[in-house]
């Protein structure tokens, strides 16, 4: 099993090119099930999660072919199986999103309940309720969802989500694209990935309007065709490297960025004393002075993303003053706090709030990644810590960050990957 080893104290200087968004790319891969024609995706991140989903799609009958220059070719000319087994779904929650496309195209599916990061219950009831609203009969049995569309296929419906859910909004949008009639989704997630997925579906012949707002309307069509699509840049990766630059100090230019996707982060980093210069297609992050503590509360887009909360906590451990971090999206998402404390951070967790007292003189230690986003928070802290930090269980990191050690090393960080049985 690999580890990431960081020797802290090196200021960063250089450029980092941001990859395609993991949270969009996975759902776009699932969209390939909706048509028998090729879907060609560019700016595809090479991640453990995209590989996991690729294996599942291959099982279902999709031709999956990685090509040069971050391109991925998918074609589901014929669905050979509508059964998604536990062993292929358990590794990642996004695998569950094959349910809707299989139902829409084939009329039936048997899909394992999902796995993924243990950061709260994150139930799939909203997904299943949406499928039922579209006419599907749902039965849960032995850890599987058995679903069957009515005769004639899924039918349009009005679906009001009782709470904002990124996954359920995406899932319903995929399934409704082939449903008969109009589907209206209300109280939708507004994350940029919604717009990316909707626009790709439209390029495939779907009729989706309103993505990125609270109300999405989908006019169902009989069939979708192939398309070529470029995945939107990853705003979570963008934020993580911005905070890495702020923690280590120095100047880093992030390329291939849609700056509006991280407006909430830019505002807080400026308050913390970090210089943020927005540029066409990029952002320059510069920090030379003392960091100042600022409070933060996670919220659905356009608020501060929960997926950047751990990284922000690591940064605030270096800031002068007291920062209160409030997590409103997921319960049990402060598992990184004890690991940051092993490096010297002073963090007091009280329910859904964490009080961070800084500045702390972080010192290298052995720490363990507890989930995908927490893993990179430990890397960020390690960049600013004195001595050597060893991050284990980095398979979490590999699920969402492409070539992290290469990108940081190119900017002057002393970071490398190693095997626990020997240097890698």
Reduce the secondary structure of 273-315 to three states and give it as a string: CCEEEEECCEEEEEECCCCECCCEEECCCCCECHHHHHHHHHH
The set of residues, in sequence order, having a beta carbon less than 8 Å from that of 216 and lying 6+ positions away, is 169, 173, 184, 185, 188, 194, 198, 208, 209, 210
Distance in angstroms (rounded) separating the CA atoms of residues 158 and 144: 26
- For residue 200, indicate whether it is catalytic: no
Distance in angstroms (rounded) separating the CA atoms of residues 266 and 384: 20
Instruction: Give yes or no for a contact between 28 and 41, defined as CB atoms under 8 angstroms apart.
Output: yes
The set of residues, in sequence order, having a beta carbon less than 8 Å from that of 355 and lying 6+ positions away, is 322, 323, 324, 325, 347, 348
Instruction: Give yes or no for a contact between 233 and 20, defined as CB atoms under 8 angstroms apart.
Output: yes
Instruction: Identify the active-site residue in 117, 188, 360, 411.
Output: 117
Instruction: Give yes or no for a contact between 300 and 191, defined as CB atoms under 8 angstroms apart.
Output: yes
DSSP at 57? H
Tell me the residue ranges of DSSP E strands in 105-212: 108-112, 137-141, 144-148, 158-160, 182-186, 207-209
Cis before 302? omega within 30: yes
Alpha carbon distance, N-terminus to C-terminus of the chain: 10
Which residues are identified as catalytic? 117
């Amino acid at each position: 099993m690999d580890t990431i080893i960081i020797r802290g104290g090196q200021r960063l200087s250089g450029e980092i090119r941001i990859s395609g968004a993991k949270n969009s790319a996975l759902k776009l891969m699932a969209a390939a099930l909706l048509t028998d024609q090729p879907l060609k995706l560019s700016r595809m991140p090479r991640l453990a999660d995209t590989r996991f989903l690729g294996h599942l799609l291959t099982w279902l009958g999709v031709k999956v072919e990685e090509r040069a220059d971050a391109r991925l070719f998918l074609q589901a000319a014929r669905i050979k199986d509508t059964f998604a087994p536990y062993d292929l779904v358990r590794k990642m929650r996004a695998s569950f999103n094959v349910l809707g496309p299989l139902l829409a195209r084939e009329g039936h599916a048997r899909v394992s309940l999902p796995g993924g990061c243990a950061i709260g219950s994150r139930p799939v009831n909203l997904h299943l309720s949406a499928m039922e609203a579209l006419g599907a009969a749902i039965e849960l049995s032995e850890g599987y969802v058995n679903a069957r569309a009515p005769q004639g296929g899924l039918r349009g419906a009005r679906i009001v989500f009782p709470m904002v859910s990124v996954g359920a909004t995406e899932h319903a949008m995929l399934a409704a694209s082939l449903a008969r009639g109009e589907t209206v989704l209300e109280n939708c997630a507004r994350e940029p990935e919604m717009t990316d997925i909707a626009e790709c579906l439209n390029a495939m012949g779907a009729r989706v309007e309103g993505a990125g707002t609270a109300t999405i309307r989908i006019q169902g069509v009989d069939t979708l065709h192939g398309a070529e699509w470029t995945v939107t840049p990853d705003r979570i990766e963008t934020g993580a490297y911005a905070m890495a630059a702020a923690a280590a100090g120095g100047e880093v230019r992030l390329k291939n960025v849609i700056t509006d996707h991280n407006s909430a982060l830019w505002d807080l980093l400026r308050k913390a004393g970090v210089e943020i210069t927005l540029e066409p297609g990029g952002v320059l992050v510069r920090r030379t002075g003392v960091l100042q503590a600022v409070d933060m509360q996670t919220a659905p887009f356009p608020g501060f993303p929960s997926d950047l909360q751990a990284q922000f906590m690591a940064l605030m451990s270096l800031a002068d003053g007291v920062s209160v971090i409030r997590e409103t999206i997921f319960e049990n998402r402060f598992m990184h706090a004890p690991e940051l404390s092993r490096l010297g951070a002073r963090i007091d967790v009280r329910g859904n709030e964490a009080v961070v007292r800084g500045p702390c003189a972080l010192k290298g230690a052995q720490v363990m990644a507890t989930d995908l986003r927490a893993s990179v928070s430990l890397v960020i802290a390690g960049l600013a810590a004195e001595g050597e930090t060893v991050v284990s269980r980095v398979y979490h990191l590999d699920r969402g960050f492409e070539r992290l050690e290469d990108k940081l090393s190119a900017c002057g960080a002393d970071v490398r990957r190693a095997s626990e049985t020997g240097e890698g």
